[in-house]
């Protein structure tokens, strides 16, 4: 049973995206009215179709980077979750300026809503703020190793700037705001062409196509199922913490092992295929989640096998998964 939330009304920017739609659903389940804001650049109305008839849910198709968005969101709100941003490499490389805008102008506008209504504000940040880390595992006090002019910088630096902007508002205006840094979340409602490892591998394996591993596949990621990430996000929001908090899985595994796991769990005969590794692709990634555990009592509960099985089941049920499988 879902525990009642400490808020009455929330706005979720990027609410039609993969993670945003799960947040909207969880908030509704806990009795919170939700305004979901999304320009559908990388989100999808299909992600929230099952929510549109539920009492207390409203979809606002708008760009949070536009000044007009504030007038479209009269509130009042007691929770502002800023989760709008292209998050997969294929998206932020296709939309570099929009990615920079949502981290700057979009964050400013979302902060203005929180100021206006005296709401709790939470920024969705990312493990990408650590870049290709020289410290392992990554703690919240690590400053990162980011290439500010590399191809990934539009995302990395957008998130680093948005963190700085939130921190400045906390100090200058005493805003009740927090930051959550999320690591490698996966699960239902990701897209076949998302560009990230789990959905790419699942769709290729289901289609019987070669599973494409970048480089030698020795780089590591730490997987966290979406339900666990949502738990962590809402715990950070309710905690009142004003410092960044890592939320991510402890299952650090190579990309090659992720591919092998997916092939085994789908029962696919797909071969492995090795492709060029992207520039500035992080070598190792695993969060130190001591703060989340000690401050919030949070730990992941869904194991990798169960999480990947659920993700496979989701894509298997989609009628066009095979036709949309990423190709070489």
Span 139-155, pLDDT tens digits? 999 999 999 999 999 99
Q: What is the pLDDT of residue 1?
A: 40
Please check the confidence at residue 324 and state whether its pLDDT lies above 70.
no
CA–CA distance, 17 with 193 (Å, rounded to integer) = 14
Structure tokens at 137: 């595992």
Q: Any idea which of 72-76, 86-90, 202-206 has the lowest mean pLDDT?
A: 86-90
Q: Strand 251-254 relative to strand 220-225: parallel, antiparallel, unpaired?
A: antiparallel
CATH 3.40.50.10490 is held by the domain 9-185+224-247? no
Cross-strand partners of 61: 38
Alpha carbon dihedral 222, 228, 230, 233, in 10-degree steps, equals -70
Q: What is the pLDDT of residue 327?
A: 53
Please check the confidence at residue 73 and state whether its pLDDT lies above 90.
yes
**Against a cut of 0.85, is the pTM above it?**
yes
Q: Domain boundaries in the chain?
A: 9-185+224-247, 186-221+251-283+302-324
Please check the confidence at residue 130 and state whether its pLDDT lies above 90.
yes
Quote the strand ranges of the chain, DSSP E: 9-13, 33-38, 57-61, 79-82, 120-126, 177-182, 185-186, 211-214, 220-225, 244-247, 251-254, 272-275
- Reported as a single tens digit per residue, the pLDDT across 16-60 is 999 999 999 999 999 999 999 999 999 999 999 999 999 999 999
The whole-number average pLDDT for the span 65-83 is: 96
HSE of 50 in the Cβ direction (CA atoms, 13 Å)? 9
Q: What is the pLDDT of residue 193?
A: 84
Fold assignment, 186-221+251-283+302-324: UDP-galactose 4-epimerase; domain 1 (3.90.25)
The whole-number average pLDDT for the span 234-246 is: 95
| Average pLDDT of the chain to the nearest whole number | 95
CA–CA distance, 85 with 288 (Å, rounded to integer) = 24
Distance of CA 232 to the CA centre of its chain: 12
User: What is the band of 319 on the pLDDT scale with cuts at 50, 70, 90?
Assistant: confident
User: What is the band of 158 on the pLDDT scale with cuts at 50, 70, 90?
Assistant: very high
- Reported as a single tens digit per residue, the pLDDT across 297-316 is 999 999 999 999 999 999 99
CA–CA distance, 227 with 110 (Å, rounded to integer) = 24
- Reported as a single tens digit per residue, the pLDDT across 261-301 is 999 999 999 999 999 999 989 999 999 999 999 999 999 99
Alpha carbon dihedral 185, 187, 188, 190, in 10-degree steps, equals 50
Catalytic positions, written as ranges: 155
Cross-strand partners of 13: 37, 82
% residues pLDDT > 70 (the chain): 96
Please check the confidence at residue 321 and state whether its pLDDT lies above 80.
no
The whole-number average pLDDT for the span 130-143 is: 96
């Amino acid at each position: 049973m879902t525990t009642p939330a400490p808020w009455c009304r929330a706005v979720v920017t990027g609410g039609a995206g993969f993670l945003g739609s799960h947040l909207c659903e969880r908030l509704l389940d806990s009795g919170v009215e939700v305004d979901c804001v999304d320009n559908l650049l990388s989100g999808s109305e299909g992600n929230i179709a099952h929510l549109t008839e539920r009492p207390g849910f409203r979809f606002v198709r708008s760009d949070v980077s536009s000044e007009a968005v504030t007038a479209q969101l009269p509130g009042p709100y007691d929770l502002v979750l800023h989760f709008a941003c292209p998050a997969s490499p294929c998206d932020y490389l296709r939309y570099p300026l929009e990615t920079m805008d949502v981290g700057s102008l979009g964050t400013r506008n979302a902060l203005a809503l929180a100021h206006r209504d005296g709401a709790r504000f939470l920024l969705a940040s990312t493990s990408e703020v650590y870049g290709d880390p020289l410290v392992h595992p990554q703690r919240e006090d690590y400053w990162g190793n980011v290439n500010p002019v590399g191809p990934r910088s539009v995302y990395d630096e957008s998130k680093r700037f948005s963190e700085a902007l939130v921190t400045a508002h906390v100090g200058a205006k005493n805003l009740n705001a927090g930051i959550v840094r999320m690591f490698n979340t996966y699960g239902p409602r990701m897209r076949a062409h998302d560009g990230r490892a789990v959905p790419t591998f699942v769709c290729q394996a289901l289609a019987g196509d070669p599973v494409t591993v970048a480089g030698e596949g020795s780089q590591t990621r730490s997987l966290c199922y979406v339900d666990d990430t949502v738990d962590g996000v809402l715990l950070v929001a309710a905690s009142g913490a004003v410092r960044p908090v890592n939320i991510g899985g402890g299952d650090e595994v190579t990309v090659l092992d992720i591919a092998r796991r997916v092939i085994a769990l789908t029962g696919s005969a797909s071969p492995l295929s090795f492709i060029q590794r992207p520039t500035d692709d992080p070598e190792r990634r695993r969060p130190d989640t001591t703060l989340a555990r000690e401050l919030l009592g949070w730990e992941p509960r869904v194991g990798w096998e169960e999480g990947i099985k659920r993700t496979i089941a989701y894509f298997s049920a989609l009628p066009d998964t095979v036709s949309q499988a990423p190709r070489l």
